[in-house]
């Protein structure tokens, strides 16, 4: 996901989220016979905009074609929405057992880190 959204969390929360992104970027994974690749590559080609419905993921370039619209919630326990723009099919998906973790935008990604995960970091 892309950059471009101001977050309202305090500096301590931002530092924790930044640390999680840094740890993920330090790892790589092997996919079948291909070269290892980053678990969390740099976010490119999209940006995140905060709106009334949550965080909308949009292409960074004007006129770029989108296949889907993705809207992520402000809290992990609320559903997110994916809409196929060609067919109009919309899915609302909720994560069973998700906490009330608040969404944060860090380096182009939307992450939701629970307070219990923060205390373990």
SS (H, E, C) 6-69: CCCCCHHHHHHHHHHHHHHHCCEECCCCCCCEECCCCCCCEEEEEECCEEEEEECCCCCCCCEE
Backbone angles phi, psi at 58, to 5 degrees: -135, 155
Query: What is the reported pLDDT for 4?
Result: 31
CA distance 46 to 68: 12
E strand or H helix at 93: strand 90-93
CA distance 5 to 74: 13
Residue 8 pLDDT more than 50? Answer: no
Per-residue pLDDT tens over the stretch 41-81: 777 767 888 888 888 887 777 666 778 889 999 999 999 99
Q: Which of 17-31, 32-46, 47-61 has the highest mean pLDDT?
A: 47-61
For 46, the 3-state DSSP assignment is: strand
The residues with which 109 forms a beta bridge, in sequence order, are 106
* DSSP 8-state assignment for residue 121: -
């Amino acid at each position: 996901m892309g950059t471009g959204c101001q977050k309202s969390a305090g500096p301590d929360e931002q530092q924790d989220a930044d640390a999680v992104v840094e740890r993920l970027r330090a790892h790589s994974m092997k996919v079948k016979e291909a070269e290892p690749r980053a678990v969390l590559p740099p976010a490119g080609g999209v940006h995140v905009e905060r709106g009334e419905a949550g965080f909308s993921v949009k292409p960074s370039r004007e006129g770029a074609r989108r296949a889907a619209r993705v809207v992520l919630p402000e809290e992990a326990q609320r559903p997110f929405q994916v809409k196929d723009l060609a067919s109009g099919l919309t899915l609302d998906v909720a994560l069973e057992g998700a906490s009330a973790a608040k969404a944060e935008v860090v380096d182009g990604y939307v992450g939701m880190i629970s307070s219990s995960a923060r205390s373990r970091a």
